[in-house]
Amino acid sequence: MATKDAASDNGQLSEIASGYQFSGETLKLGVAMADGQPHPDVQVSLPMSMMNRHGLVAGATGTGKTKTLQHMAEQLSAQGVPVFLADMKGDLSGLAAAGEANEKLTARTESLGQQWTGTGFPVEFFTLGGEGTGVPIRATVSSFGPILLSRVMDLNATQESSLQLIFHYADQQGLELYNLADLRAVIQFLTSPEGKEALSSLGGLSKATAGVILRELVGLEAEGMDAFFGEPEFDTQDLLRTAQDGRGIISALELSDVASKPQLFSTFLMWLLADLFHDLPEVGDVDKPKLVFFLDEAHLLFNGASKAFLEAITQTVRLIRSKGVGIFFVTQTPKDVPGDVLGQLANRVQHALRAFTPDDAKALKATVSTFPKSGYDLEKVLTSAGIGEAVVTVMTETGAPSPVAWTRMFAPESRMAPAPEAVQENTGNSPLMTKYGTVVDSYSAFEKLSGQGASGQGAEQGMGDGAGQASGGNDDAGAPAPSDENGGFRPYGEQTGWSQDGSGQSGEGGAAQPSAADRKAAERAAREEAARQKAEERERQKRNEAIMRVGTNVASTLGREIVRSIFGTSSRSRRRGGGGLGGLFG
């Protein structure tokens, strides 16, 4: 007996039945429970139009959170909604393969009245920087920004502010920050004798603090984290795709290979959200979301986070709703999520909790206090609920909370186990591999500060005269590399008269080889496009600065930039033009 009064069971079921009647499309979660038994005639669902009011899926380990997430992702995909989810252990790779019926599963689905059919769903598998099997996701250092990078490097508030100054300097001097080597080169220049004047001009940046940041940066590179930063940068619009049959594509970020780097992958997830917020248009209230984002192991996002980082997360959750994006945090207890964020999560699926310790008991009481009043004794329900059962409340179409419903959740129709063969097959056939599979090393801060074409000395060996010119205030931060006939920068091999294949032939001689000629033509086209984008961006910046001076910024512009100004990330249009900081430094 889990209710306060057994005689009230029928009344409770009647309230739930009427409270979960919605006019639009819904995501079916399961059926209501009373006196320990499921009632297939009383279904519990979530309005699709309320998915962008965000939500929380919580519960102790082994209570069924992952299966709930899997089932929700399936239904969203089936209704044409793209999904992004973080797969911590590889369990969710089974989404790509059809489930197989067995006696236990059949008994469960029949008891719930669920029309179950084994079904595979369209899944795109991603990895961070190519660590593991999947399409690699990378970000340029400039677009990642100083606040998010400070989180990865575990910098304190003073060091974070100093890193912002370094980004600002690189942005002003036209030093493109694409990878960690670019950022390292800028810091090494500022701490070198040649960069003394530039360092002093930054005011709030001391040589000692820059040295600390440099050591942390070198540590990141030593741990292999440089693989996650660089080009080609991931375009978050690729998360919004649908399959040919109209189903939403599920983007699964496979994180089992980087599970030991929680600050890295949790911060990357926030970068993806910030990028989506910037790029997506305002849509207001919609019948169904443009994308639903599941953040598994959400406590890792908040552990040890700075005040600025927490404020940025809160702003992101609050504002991205109007872009048609829903965010669901998946964790063990609501206490894992800061109150300012928790207060914005209108949809709740709370699986069982354990109360083995005094701290567990406090967490249980705190969890119960966050639910609307109901006829349930929630402390008993949450400690006695079985695997695959949860306490649910959602936001109704009128904006009010639905009745609290003890629910036995529907089973996923895809495989409820890892599907490594599907990961291999889908990745091998993915059209995105041609877009993101090969690393690109563009001409950027590292090359500019290494003394272009001098003797191959890297920035780590000291900054030469070319680096010294970076403090002079010109856009290219030093003497530019020789230009080709189209005005683009020439590769290092062309500057020195050596071909890329090491044959010692000049650029003209190498052109006799078809493959080399094709490669050079492609490089020239890329340089021309980069120069064109940079020129366009400079004109755009001039216009924006003029608008800022006369104080005519409109509210829509402010809305688009607010999250990037908080995180310090740069907009996509600025990434090829320099180490910009978006709204933070103009």
Q: What are phi and psi of 563, to 5 degrees?
A: -70, -40
Asked whether the predicted pLDDT for residue 350 surpasses 90, the reply is yes
80-89, 253-262, 469-478, 537-546: which is most confident: 80-89
C-alpha–C-alpha distance, residues 293 and 37, integer Å: 32
* Side-by-side strand order, sheet with 250-254: 37-47, 26-34, 405-409, 389-393, 347-351, 55-58, 325-331, 291-295, 83-87, 250-254, 123-128, 135-137
Instruction: Measure the CA–CA gap between 87 and 89, rounded to whole angstroms.
Output: 6
Could you report how far apart the first and last alpha carbons of the chain are, in Å? 62
Lowest-confidence range among 46-55, 231-240, 344-353, 355-364? 355-364
Q: How far apart are CA 182 and CA 475, in angstroms?
A: 16
- pLDDT more than 70, % of the chain: 76
Distance between CA 135 and CA 125 in Å, rounded?
A: 6
Q: What six digits make up the tokens of 201?
A: 């001009």
pLDDT of residue 134: 94
The two structure tokens encoding residue 453: 């074409």
pLDDT at 166 over 70: yes
Least confident of 145-154, 191-200, 240-249, 471-480: 471-480
Average pLDDT over every residue of 279-293: 93
For 506-519, how does the pLDDT look when each residue is reduced to its tens digit (9 = 90+)?
Answer: 344 444 445 555 65
CB of 468 within 8 A of CB of 460?
no
**Is pLDDT larger for residue 396 or for residue 586?**
396
CB atoms closer than 10 angstroms to residue 67? 19
Which domains can be identified in the chain, with CATH numbers?
6-122+249-263+271-416 (3.40.50.300), 138-246+423-463+529-586 (no CATH)
For the chain, what is the total number of helices (H) and then of strands (E)? Answer: 23, 12
With 0-12 / 13-18 / 19 or more C-beta atoms within 10 angstroms meaning exposed / middle / buried, residue 167 is buried
pLDDT band at 202 (very low <50, low <70, confident <90, very high): confident
Class of residue 1 by CB neighbours under 10 A (exposed 0-12, middle 13-18, buried 19+): exposed
Cβ contact 499:491 at 8 Å: no
Closest CA to 295 of 270, 271, 319, 278: 270
| Token duo for residue 65 | 């959170």
List pLDDT tens digits, range 15-73: 999 999 999 999 999 999 988 899 999 999 999 999 999 999 999 999 999 999 999 99
Per-residue pLDDT band at 5 (split at 50, 70, 90) = low
* Percent of the chain residues topping a pLDDT of 90: 54
The dihedral over CA atoms of 49, 404, 390, 327, expressed in degrees to the nearest 10, equals 30
Tell me: pLDDT of 573 over 50. Answer: no
Which residues partner with 135 through β-bridges?
Answer: 126
Using the structure block, give the residue that is written with the tokens 């005519």: 552
Question: Average pLDDT, stretch 234-244?
Answer: 96
For residue 226 the two structure tokens come to 């440089």
- Phi first, then psi, for residue 326 (nearest 5°) are -105, 140
d(CA 3, CA 445) in angstroms, rounded, equals 66
Instruction: Dig out the tokens for 356 from the structure.
Output: 């083995």
The pLDDT confidence band at residue 82, using thresholds 50, 70 and 90, is: very high
Structure token digits, residue 200:
């002093």
Tokens 């079904």 belong to residue: 119
The number of C-alpha atoms within 13 Å of 484 and in the hemisphere containing its C-beta is 19
pLDDT range class, residue 304, cuts 50, 70, 90: confident
Amino acid identity of residue 325, one-letter, is: V
Residue 581 pLDDT class (50, 70, 90 cuts): very low
Neighbours of 323 (CB within 10 A): 22
436 contacts: CB under 8 Å, gap ≥ 6: 135, 136, 137, 138, 232, 234
Of 28, 113, 32, 42, nearest to 76 by C-alpha is 28
d(CA 311, CA 567): 9
- Only one residue has tokens 């509210």, namely 555
Q: Is the peptide bond before 334 cis (omega within 30 degrees of 0)?
A: no
Within 69-168, strands assigned E span 83-87, 123-128, 135-137
Q: Comparing C-alpha atoms, which of 408, 410, 406, 403 is closest to residue 16? A: 403
Beta bridge mates, 292: 83, 326
Q: What is the pTM of this model?
A: 0.77
Residues 376, 6: Cα–Cα separation, whole Å: 10
CB 259 within 8 Å of CB 90 = no
Give 229's DSSP letter. Answer: B
The radius of gyration of the chain's CA atoms, rounded to the nearest angstrom, is 27
Query: Among 101, 115, 58, which Cα is nearest to 416's?
Result: 101
What is the bridge-based pairing of β-strands 250-254 and 123-128?
parallel
Tens digits of residue pLDDT in 251-269: 999 888 777 787 788 889 8
What are 460-475's pLDDT values in tens digits?
Answer: 333 333 333 333 333 3
Which residue type occupies 116? W
State which amino acid sits at residue 455: S
